Amino acid sequence: MEILDHFALGFGVALSLQNLAYCFLGVLLGTLIGVLPGVGPLVTISMLLPVTFGLPPVSAVIMLSGIYYGAQYGGSTTAILVNLPGETSSAVTCLDGYQMARQGRAGAALAIAAISSFVAGCIGTLLIVALGVPLASWALRFGAEDYFALMVLGLVAASVLTHGDMVKALAMVVLGLLVGLVGTDVNSGVERFTFGLPDLADGIGFTVLAVGIFAISEIVLNLEQKETREVFTKNIGGLMPSWADLKTAFLPTLRGTFVGAFFGILPGTGPSISSFSSYMLEKKFARDPSRFGKGAIEGVAAPEAANNAAAQTAFIPMLTLGIPGTATMALILGALVMNGVQPGPSVMSRNPELFWGVVASMLIGNAMLVALNLPLVGLWVRLLSIPYRWLFPAIAMFCALGNYSLNNSAIDVYLCAALGVLGYVLAKLKCPPAPLVLGYVLGPMMEENIRRALLLSEGDLSIFVRSPISLTFLTISAALLISMVLPAIRRGKARVDREEAGAV
Amino acid sequence: MRIVYKVLAGLALSALASGAQAQNYPDKAIRMIVPFPPGGGTDVVARVIAQKLGEATGWTIVADNKPGSGGSVGLSLAGKAPADGYTIVLAQNANLVINPILGKANYDPIKDFAPIGLTASAPQVLVVAKDSPLKTVEDLLAAAKAKGGKMTFASPGVGTSSHLAGELLQQLASVKFRHVPYKGASQALPDLMGGRVDIYISSVPSVMTQVKEGALRPIALFATKRDADLPDVPTFDEAGIKNSDAVTWWGLAAPAGTPAAIVARLNTELNRVLKQPDTQGKLRAAGAEALGGTAEEFGALIKSDVPKWTQVIKTADVKVAD
């Protein structure tokens, strides 16, 4: 019952009026910046970091972490309403969330996103408490070969993402890989596809790509057809999800939570991959995978749960090993160190008030986020009745602002516009955008890790089967491939048999 | 005669004008270009200096993050900015000196910039995992020789100061490591702690947490003297490897051609704030040590760093641009 005492201590700290106020301020700011594309928690936290020096360390960390996980809630809002991913991790939510909105179910989609985020946030927080230290040391066992095998599994599983034309989907994955290659090669330092432009040396940002492909191209597509707008506003439907919706979303939320928690612990993977993976997993589990991409509620619940769980468990390597998995975590780590708190396996015993106070504030903060977001649903949905001639320029302006703020550079705005044109052309050619984004995310990581694995093994390929973790992932990938190919072969064989029988 | 007179008059006028310019300086906000994104080491140093300079003088100094290409984007912008004293840049040896040698930048560290003053420095340290058999510099070099070039050396990236410090060590101690570049510390540290790479070289702040926890053991510093935060860790110099200094330094610079009076004024104010205990404490918290000195001293450092790193990069055959 020691853990109850710890929680009592934690809530004692987190429920003080001052800390409640900082928690609320953090999650409110997080929600707001989450809604804006480009303006993410990284920029916000770095701006606020100097301000927090005057605060007690607990209050500072409570507020900064509130911004971080709050942003994951806000990011889904614009993804659902206008196909504009507010945060990188909510790009996947565009796929089904926006379709739900088009069918007049924006309210249900927003509410499900908030509820599944809440569930995942709470479970993720409990994981930090219960298994933080063992999970972190487990994550240390992942070598380059294991990351590579994990990415292979991701790409193989991605083939279930596709519906319709397999060739187009593969072409999109390859295009995504190529876009991902732009920038400086990690192993040699050589610049690729940068055309001598220093602005491209760090690659094309995820926000620039996602906003261009999803939001800008959607605006252009809408401009050419006048009728869709009526469908959009006429039938907004119930604001809250039905009981059936909740039941459908229940298991996907749990699965999404565990997928997200898994990726959150591994440094360097992060919320984007976790939301993609959980989406693919749901599609694999679904009785009718063809509903995905056409407004399936599981396609909103699972990735939203995953990115929130990942945001929560990303604290595990940071708090217990001092290893920040993302740039934002590095900032929060900096805030801790500057406030005299030394992260590490013994952080729980050395700074119990801070550790348990922050953990308790995460539970409180997640509850605040639901309380904040559910009533806002009605307001957000009413945004959809704004005439297009006002809404579109506003969206385009926010996209431009967000992209500019990434590097304070106009190049990103132009790039986003160009990618918007590309997105429009691809939509016209009926090429799915999701495999492109996935190839972009996984490709560079795959390359980096396979080259590093081979560098460390002196070119010995057996490293991929000698590591038990890598072997497991590769075996699952092979099994998945066989399970997909076998029915096709059998069908093909049956047809040949029939033809032969017919010939006779 | 008339021409000479005209030239002289012109020179006098322009001297007067620049004098007047320096006297009213600054009559608007000064932009301090920070060539890295918000949150990193350079950003923290820049924001402390901008804030303290502003407080000490009443000037408005705006820190403007222009990240990209390892700092080359920001430095290039600063080098091309009008030389009127309203654009300054917080440069680092990695971007001001090393990027041009690597062919990653289109500016010249000596011709395109007017040094204002050295601001701060942070040492680099070689660390191993806590269960590594290596304890001293002698262990390290003996093991490296025994392994015959197979000892793996992780760095936060190709062409970074840490990578070049590793190359410098190999050249000075006549050993060979196998370089394994990462994208920063977040992926290199798990591999080091998990025993998949043998050694890691990094700036002190990014491994301080693990060193304090005992998860990593520092072997030696690439510095001329010991670090206040790691008083028990020797320098490579002490261990007999001379001229192994490879600190990361930050310095304030302006575009070449900025009036000397303005540079002098900025240098005076910079040195004033660098002597304040509060400035020193804030820099210390970020892992950097406040420095200072004249603009000429800073210029001399840049001039001596260029041939030193050119030599290291040539010998190691580090290529990043083609």
Same domain (yes/no): B38, B99: yes
* CATH code where residue B157 lies: 3.40.190.10
* CATH code where residue B55 lies: 3.40.190.150
pLDDT at residue number B103: 83
The CA distance from A75 to B161, in Å, is 37
Average pLDDT, chain A: 82
The pLDDT tens digits for B210-260 are 888 888 999 999 998 898 888 999 999 999 998 888 988 999 999 999 999
Beta-carbon separation of A144 and B196 below 8 A: yes
- The residue-averaged pLDDT of B20-38 equals 80
> Could you tell me if residue B238 is inside a domain?
no
The pLDDT tens digits for A235-253 are 555 667 888 888 888 899 9
pLDDT at residue number A189: 75
Same domain (yes/no): B115, B263: yes
Q: Where would I find the H helices in A140-181?
A: 144-158, 166-181
Task: Tell me which amino acid residue A111 is.
Answer: A
- Other C-beta atoms lying within 10 Å of the C-beta of residue A468: 10
Same domain (yes/no): B149, B217: yes
Confidence of residue B1 (pLDDT cuts 50, 70, 90): very low
The pLDDT tens digits for B80-90 are 899 999 999 99
The pLDDT tens digits for A5-48 are 888 888 888 888 899 999 999 999 888 888 777 677 777 787 77
Where exactly are the structural domains of chain A?
Answer: 2-466
Backbone angles phi, psi at B124, to 5 degrees: -100, 150
The structure tokens listed for B138 are 């002698």
Same domain (yes/no): B70, B205: no
Cβ of A130 under 8 Å from any chain B Cβ?
Answer: no
> Could you tell me if residue B179 is inside a domain?
yes
More confident residue, A165 or B32: B32
CA A393 to each of CA A144, A212, A216, A228, A436: distance values in angstroms, whole numbers, following the listed order: 45, 15, 11, 18, 26
The CA distance from A362 to A66, in Å, is 7
Residues (pLDDT < 70) of chain A are 1, 38, 50, 158-164, 225-239, 268, 270, 487-504
Cβ of A455 under 8 Å from any chain B Cβ?
Answer: yes
Cβ of A496 under 8 Å from any chain B Cβ?
Answer: no
Beta-carbon separation of B209 and A322 below 8 A: yes
Beta-carbon separation of B38 and A191 below 8 A: no
The pLDDT tens digits for A52-72 are 777 888 888 899 989 988 888
Backbone angles phi, psi at B199, to 5 degrees: -135, 160
Contacting residues for A99 by C-beta, under 8 A, at least 6 apart: A293, A294, A295
> Could you tell me if residue B241 is inside a domain?
no
pLDDT at residue number A234: 47
Confidence of residue B322 (pLDDT cuts 50, 70, 90): very low
State the nearest Cα–Cα gap between A132 and chain B, in angstroms.
Answer: 16
Cβ of A431 under 8 Å from any chain B Cβ?
Answer: no
Give which of A104, A432, A163, A150 is closest to A286, Cα–Cα: A163
Beta-carbon separation of A344 and B212 below 8 A: yes
Closest CB to B320: pick one of A141, A190, A343.
A190
Same domain (yes/no): B216, B253: no
The CA distance from B222 to B232, in Å, is 14
> Could you tell me if residue B276 is inside a domain?
yes
ipTM of the prediction greater than 0.85, yes or no: no
pLDDT at residue number A501: 60
Instruction: Find the domain containing B202 and state its range.
Output: 124-222
pLDDT at residue number B112: 94
State the nearest Cα–Cα gap between B114 and chain A, in angstroms.
Answer: 23
Closest CB to B68: pick one of A140, A199, A321.
A199
- Other C-beta atoms lying within 10 Å of the C-beta of residue B58: 8
The CA distance from B64 to B112, in Å, is 20
> Could you tell me if residue B239 is inside a domain?
no
Same domain (yes/no): B108, B128: no
More confident residue, A18 or B322: A18
> Could you tell me if residue B237 is inside a domain?
no
- Measured on CA atoms in the order B170, B171, B175, B179, is the torsion positive or negative? positive
The pLDDT tens digits for B257-316 are 999 999 999 999 999 999 999 999 888 877 889 999 999 999 999 999 999 999 999 888
Cβ of A43 under 8 Å from any chain B Cβ?
Answer: yes
Same domain (yes/no): B112, B129: no
**Residues on chain B touching A46 (C-beta within 8 angstroms):** 37-39, 43
Beta-carbon separation of B186 and A268 below 8 A: yes
**Residues on chain B touching A343 (C-beta within 8 angstroms):** 209, 213
> Could you tell me if residue B227 is inside a domain?
no
pLDDT at residue number B272: 94
Q: Which residue of A has its CA nearest to B105?
A: A198
Interface A-B: count of C-beta contacts within 8 A: 143
Same domain (yes/no): B141, B285: no
**Residues on chain A touching B106 (C-beta within 8 angstroms):** 198
Give which of A369, A426, A444, A16 is closest to A214, Cα–Cα: A426
pLDDT at residue number A159: 65
> Could you tell me if residue B322 is inside a domain?
no
State the nearest Cα–Cα gap between A286 and chain B, in angstroms.
Answer: 35
Same domain (yes/no): B206, B255: no
Same domain (yes/no): B103, B150: no
